[in-house]
Amino acid sequence: MKSAMSKRKLKDTCGASAECISQVQKILRERFCHRPSATGKLFGIEFQYRHLLELLKRTTLHGESNSALIVGPRGSGKTTLLNHVLKDLREMKQVRGNLLEVHLNGLLQTSDKVALKEITRQLQLENVVGDKVFGSFAETLAFLLEALRKGDRTSSCPVLFVLDEFDLFVHHKNQTLLYNLFDISQSAQTPVTIIGLTCRQDILELLEKRVKSRFSHRQIYLMNSFDFKQYIKIFKEQLSLPAEFPDEPFAQKWNDNIQHLSEDKIVQDVLQNLFHHTKDLRSLYFLLMLAVSAVTVHHPLLTAADLQEASRQHSTDSKANIVHGLSVLEICLIIAMKHLNDVYDGEPFNFQMVYNEFQKFIQRKAHSMYNFEKPVVMKAFEHLLQLELVKPLERPSARAQREYLLMRLLLDNTQIMDALQVYPNCPTDVKQWAASSLSWL
Partner 1 sequence: MNTRQQSKLIYSWYGKPMSSDRKLRTTQYKGIIITSESSRTETCIQLGDFILVEGVNADRPYVAQLLDLYEDGAQHKRAVVQWFCHIGEIPQNKRKLLKREISSQEVFFDQVLGYDTDIDAQTIIKSIMVIPLHPGEELPITLNKEQTFYVKQSWDGKCFKALSPDTFSKLKAKKKKGSTPDSSEPFIPSDILTPLKKETESVVQSATKPKNAESKHSVSKSSLAKERQSQRAVNDIKTPTARKKLELSSPTRSKGRLLGSEVLDLLDDDRDAIAPLESAATKRKVTFTSDILGSPPKIPCSNDKSKSVSDTAEPCQRFSDTIRLSPYPKAKDFSEKAKNLHVEDDIISLVGHQKPGTQSPVLTPRSRRTCAQRTSALIAQHISVLNQEDDLSSSDSSYSSSSEEEEEEEDVPCTPEKKTKSSRIFSTPKSSSKSSVHTPAKTPKKTPLPGTPKTPRNATPEIPRRSHAAQKPASVLEEARLRLHVSAVPESLPCREEEFQDIYNFVESKLIDGTGGCMYISGVPGTGKTATVHEVIRCLQQAAENDELPPFQLVEINGMKLTDPHQAYVQILELLTGQKVTATHAAVLLAKLFNTPGPKRKTTVLIVDELDLLWTRKQNVMYNLFDWPTQKHSKLIILAIANTMDLPERIMMNRVASRLGLTRMAFQPYTYKQLQHIISSRLKDVKAFEEDAIQLVSRKVAALSGDARRCLDICRRATEICEFAEPKRSPEIVGMAHVTEAIDEMFSSPYINAIRNASLHEQIFLKAILAEFRRAGVEEATVQQVYHQHMALCRIEGMQRPTVSEMMAICSRLGASRLLLLEASNKYLHMRVRLNLSQDDVMYALREE
Q: Alpha helices of 240-386 — where are they, by DSSP H?
A: 248-263, 265-277, 281-293, 304-315, 318-324, 328-344, 351-364, 374-386
Phi first, then psi: give them for residue 159, nearest 5 degrees.
Answer: -115, 130
Contacts of 176 (CB under 8 A, 6+ apart): 112, 141
**Cα(65)–Cα(31) distance, integer angstroms:** 35
**Contact stretch for partner 1 (CB under 8 A) within 290-298, 300-308, 326-334, 412-420:** 412-420
Of 23 and 341, the one with the shorter C-beta distance to partner 1 is 341
Is residue 50 near partner 1 by the rule CB under 8 A?
yes
Greatest pairwise CA separation for the chain in angstroms: 92
Mask 216-235, x = binds partner 1 (CB under 8 A)? xxxx-x-xxx----------
**Least Å from the CB of residue 349 to partner 1:** 14
**Least Å from the CB of residue 251 to partner 1:** 33
**Cα(270)–Cα(108) distance, integer angstroms:** 38
Is residue 79 near partner 1 by the rule CB under 8 A?
no
**Cα(329)–Cα(348) distance, integer angstroms:** 21
**Least Å from the CB of residue 261 to partner 1:** 20
**Cα(9)–Cα(384) distance, integer angstroms:** 52
Angle, to 10 degrees, between the axis of helix 137-150 and the axis of helix 112-122? 40
Find, among 136, 216, 208, 134, the residue nearest to 174 by Cα: 208
Is residue 202 near partner 1 by the rule CB under 8 A?
yes
Task: List binders of partner 1 among 358-397 (CB under 8 A).
Answer: 388, 391
Task: List binders of partner 1 among 270-329 (CB under 8 A).
Answer: 273, 275-280, 315-320
Mask 95-124, x = binds partner 1 (CB under 8 A)? -xxx-x-----------xx---------x-
Task: List binders of partner 1 among 121-180 (CB under 8 A).
Answer: 123, 125, 128-133, 135-138, 141-143, 145-148, 150-151, 153-159, 174, 176, 179-180
Query: CA-based angle 128:182:88, to the nearest 5?
Result: 75
Is residue 422 near partner 1 by the rule CB under 8 A?
no
**Least Å from the CB of residue 222 to partner 1:** 9
Is residue 421 near partner 1 by the rule CB under 8 A?
no
**Least Å from the CB of residue 196 to partner 1:** 14
Of 25 and 98, the one with the shorter C-beta distance to partner 1 is 98
User: Is the separation of the CB atoms in 157 and 99 below 8 Å?
Assistant: yes
Is residue 61 near partner 1 by the rule CB under 8 A?
yes
Is residue 39 near partner 1 by the rule CB under 8 A?
no
**Least Å from the CB of residue 27 to partner 1:** 28
**Contact stretch for partner 1 (CB under 8 A) within 194-202, 235-243, 325-333, 422-430:** 194-202
User: Is the separation of the CB atoms in 119 and 144 below 8 Å?
Assistant: yes
**Least Å from the CB of residue 267 to partner 1:** 16
User: Is the separation of the CB atoms in 169 and 67 below 8 Å?
Assistant: no
**Least Å from the CB of residue 215 to partner 1:** 9
Phi first, then psi: give them for residue 100, nearest 5 degrees.
Answer: -100, 140
**Least Å from the CB of residue 263 to partner 1:** 21
**Contact stretch for partner 1 (CB under 8 A) within 32-40, 56-64, 247-255, 258-266:** 56-64
**Cα(413)–Cα(161) distance, integer angstroms:** 50
Of 135 and 242, the one with the shorter C-beta distance to partner 1 is 135
Task: List binders of partner 1 among 332-361 (CB under 8 A).
Answer: 346
Q: Which of 90, 117, 200, 236 binds partner 1 (CB under 8 A)?
A: 200
Per-residue 3-state assignment (H helix, E strand, C coil) for 376-424: HHHHHHHHHHHCCCEEECCCCCCCCCHHHCCEEECCCHHHHHHHHHHCC
Query: CA-based angle 354:357:359, to the nearest 5?
Result: 110
Q: Which of 199, 294, 297, 426 binds partner 1 (CB under 8 A)?
A: 199
Q: Which of 27, 38, 53, 64 binds partner 1 (CB under 8 A)?
A: 64
72 pairs with which residues across the strands? none
Of 360 and 408, the one with the shorter C-beta distance to partner 1 is 408
